[in-house]
Amino acid sequence: MSANQFEWEIKPDQGWFRFGLKELFYKKGLILRFVRRDLLASYQQTLIGPLWIVLQPLLATLVYVIIFSKVARLSTDGTPPLLFYLSGYIIWNFFTDCLNGTMYTFIFNAHIFNKVYFPRLIIPFSTVITASIRGLIQCVFFLLLLSLYHRDFPQISVSLSGILWLLFFLWMVALFAVGLGLIISVLTARYRDIDNLIQFALRLFMFAAPVVYPASMIPEAYRSLFWLNPLTTAIEGFRAAFLTDNPIERSWIWISMVVVSVICLIGVTIFKKLEIKVLDTL
């Protein structure tokens, strides 16, 4: 029989750059089922259900306003503190949602992977879609709050270009989180104690991004290193799109995109190359 008559092809090894992205398109129904499962599981047996999507960032932002604005008296560059901290929290929360959902891909789904075959990238991909739904709802809530401050703060505005920039920054953060998460998922599946180190580093990493302070507070000597963090570009770009009249430099956006693309490519490559070997160790 000719080779093209066979539906399955078994090879001894997985190539470095065979990502199998075409399979994700054919399995879109399975992706939607995982997204539905994650959304339902997140808010089952809760009193207010999906309202936590909005209430959680609002409560966290109010705590930031009290601690960092009222007590520590950190500058917000003339921006209303509620909007300033909410914008930073939305981006940070979206990043941690995508990262935490991706980095435990093997640990939380080993019982599925060992029973039936499907493209393993479906799990992190569905996680990002779930986090994106929550993130977009929070962004809509943020835009509604903008209308309450527009009269007193003329620099605040909502425009189509601002919304498009916001979607772009969310997409960039998602790629960044997925790339890091896929790399970490391979490590934590083999060495469980790395998880404790990652959680500690993640708490510190929050203060390496301008979540609770403006980028203008960073000394000039450290500014270049500070802007290499893609979250800095995303958070400051989010605020520049709606809260200020000072756009960020386009060069930092390009640099962030290069960093994100490299990390995402490395993450997907390592994940696809080692996924079978990692499952053998679980």
What is the per-residue pLDDT for 277? Answer: 82
**Mean pLDDT throughout 2-14?**
54
- Lowest mean pLDDT of 106-110, 142-146, 216-220, 247-251, name the range: 106-110
Domain count of the fold of the chain: 1
Query: 14 pLDDT band (50/70/90 cuts)?
Result: low
9: in domain: no
**Mean pLDDT throughout 51-55?**
91
More confident residue, 2 or 237: 237
174: in domain: yes
16: in domain: no
2: in domain: no
pTM metric for this prediction: 0.89
**Mean pLDDT throughout 107-111?**
82
228: in domain: yes
237: in domain: yes
The rounded distance, in Å, linking the Cα atoms of 219 and 247 is 19
Angle (CA) 212 77 80, round 5°: 75
29: in domain: no
**Mean pLDDT throughout 17-41?**
78
Structural domain containing residue 88: 52-281
User: Helix, strand, or coil here: 8?
Assistant: coil
